[in-house]
Amino acid sequence: MTASLLAALFLLASGCSRPPPDLTVLGEKCRSILELQSCEFIYHDIIYQGKTEKLLGLLLTRDTRLLFSVDIRVSAGIDLANGPGLVLESLPGPADGLPGLAIKLPYARILDSDADENTIHQYFVHEYGLDGGGKVNWLDFQDEIAQAKKRAEADALRRGLLDTAWENAAASLGSFFRLAGFGVVKVEKIPDSQVETAFPARETRT
């Protein structure tokens, strides 16, 4: 997690009441934390597209070819707006007197997949057309960019993007609630019917 997020965690926790903590108030505060993405993969994709048009199948009237690269960002995190919500349950405190907490956290999902237009780099362009036609129109290549985004998402899933995002979110919650005055914090995954990835309970102690 970034330094700014850790700072936010500390500031939020510093404002929380000390034992017995108010789980309702803490739950609302940690929801704002989970709205942030917890993992992002960046892909550098190279795309080629060529289009030709002929009159009566014989006379070449348009010929455009383009080779360019673009960065695609695939981010994942906990989506509390859609699907199961966050569940907080008190646990008996250990011998040190600090209260315990069990957290049921939904599985991570892809939150955004975006092609960064600022990173587009053109390697090669060929434009030909009768009567001044044949100019490259970037709108003509949106389908190729959309396909590149799908490839990036599929690869990110294979490489464990959602697993990493969930683990990062669980670690952030553990840090947040320890700062808020809890001792043992257990984070468990709420099963998601769309993803068959099981996580053991994550237990942290001050």
Contacts of 24 (CB under 8 A, 6+ apart): none
For position 156, what pLDDT does the model report? 96
Give the rounded percent of residues in the chain with a pLDDT score beyond 70.
65
For position 203, what pLDDT does the model report? 46
Distance of alpha carbon 6 from alpha carbon 176, whole angstroms: 9
Per-residue pLDDT reduced to its tens digit, 8-26: 444 444 444 444 556 666 6
Mean of per-residue pLDDT scores for the chain: 75
Per-residue pLDDT reduced to its tens digit, 128-186: 665 555 555 667 678 888 999 999 999 999 999 999 999 999 988 888 888 878 888 88
pTM: 0.70
Which residue from 49, 79, 72 is spatially nearest to 162, judged by alpha carbons?
79
Per-residue pLDDT reduced to its tens digit, 44-65: 999 888 777 777 777 777 777 8
Backbone dihedral angles phi then psi of residue 55, each to the nearest 5 degrees:
-90, 125
Which string of DSSP letters, residue by residue, matches 111-139?
A: EEEEEEEEEEEEEEEEEEEGGG-----GG
For position 192, what pLDDT does the model report? 61
For position 56, what pLDDT does the model report? 76
Contacts of 105 (CB under 8 A, 6+ apart): 34, 78, 86, 166, 169, 170, 173, 187, 188, 189, 190
Distance of alpha carbon 113 from alpha carbon 149, whole angstroms: 7
> CB atoms < 10 A from the CB of 168, how many?
19
